[in-house]
């Protein structure tokens, strides 16, 4: 009985973190992609299409309802501490419209390397994000690597991949 309960909870957690989204069109390129000016926490904006062509950008796509996303927040903070701003931008893009369900983000909000954006559902659709958390590394306007799900080893994988991009 106990095993059945644990299995049921695991399946429900997985299902909650796999919110379906429409995939990105196959023929879409950086040249004809929609320009996304993402509104930030402090009234700043970020021209996503332009920035991913200028330097590497690590984007952690998350949702406030996703328990795995909340568990990943300290690792995103660790990543931000290890990546110099000149090397790459780090973005947390939430499908949520505000931070009311994201109280666990307080450490990350203080990080100078991390930009947090809300209501990024259109960008998620364009990039083919259909589960949370989902981390994508962009360089030269293209996706270089994708990490799906939650794992503390993603920090080292991302750092290694950034070193290889030089």
Tell me, what's the pLDDT at 165? 86
Least confident span in 60-69, 140-149, 156-165: 60-69
Q: How far is CA 130 from CA 11, 22, 43, 94, 137, in A?
A: 17, 7, 28, 13, 16
**Domains of the chain by range and CATH?**
2-19+34-164 (3.40.30.10)
What pLDDT digit, counting tens, does each position of 62-109 carry? 888 888 888 888 888 888 888 888 899 888 888 887 655 555 565 565
pTM (2 d.p.): 0.71
What pLDDT digit, counting tens, does each position of 100-137 carry? 555 556 556 566 677 778 888 888 888 899 888 999 99
What's the whole-number average pLDDT of the chain?
A: 73
Residue carrying structure tokens 């419209």: 97
As a whole number of angstroms, the distance between CA 25 and CA 8 comes to 34
């Amino acid at each position: 009985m106990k095993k059945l309960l644990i299995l049921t909870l695991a399946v429900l957690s997985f299902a909650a973190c796999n919110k379906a989204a429409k995939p990105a069109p196959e023929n879409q390129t950086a040249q004809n992609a929609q320009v996304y000016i993402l509104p930030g926490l402090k009234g700043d904006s970020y021209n996503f299409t332009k920035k991913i062509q200028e330097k590497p950008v690590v984007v952690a796509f998350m949702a406030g309802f996703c328990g795995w996303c909340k568990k990943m927040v300290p690792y995103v903070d660790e990543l931000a501490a290890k990546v110099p701003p000149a090397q790459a931008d780090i973005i947390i893009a939430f499908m949520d419209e505000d931070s009311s369900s994201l109280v666990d983000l307080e450490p990350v909000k203080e990080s100078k390397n991390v930009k947090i954006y809300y209501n990024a559902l259109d960008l998620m659709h364009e990039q083919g994000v259909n589960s949370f958390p989902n981390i994508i590394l962009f360089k030269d306007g293209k996706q270089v690597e994708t990490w799906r799900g939650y794992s503390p080893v993603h920090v080292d994988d991302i750092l290694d991949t950034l070193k290889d991009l030089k």
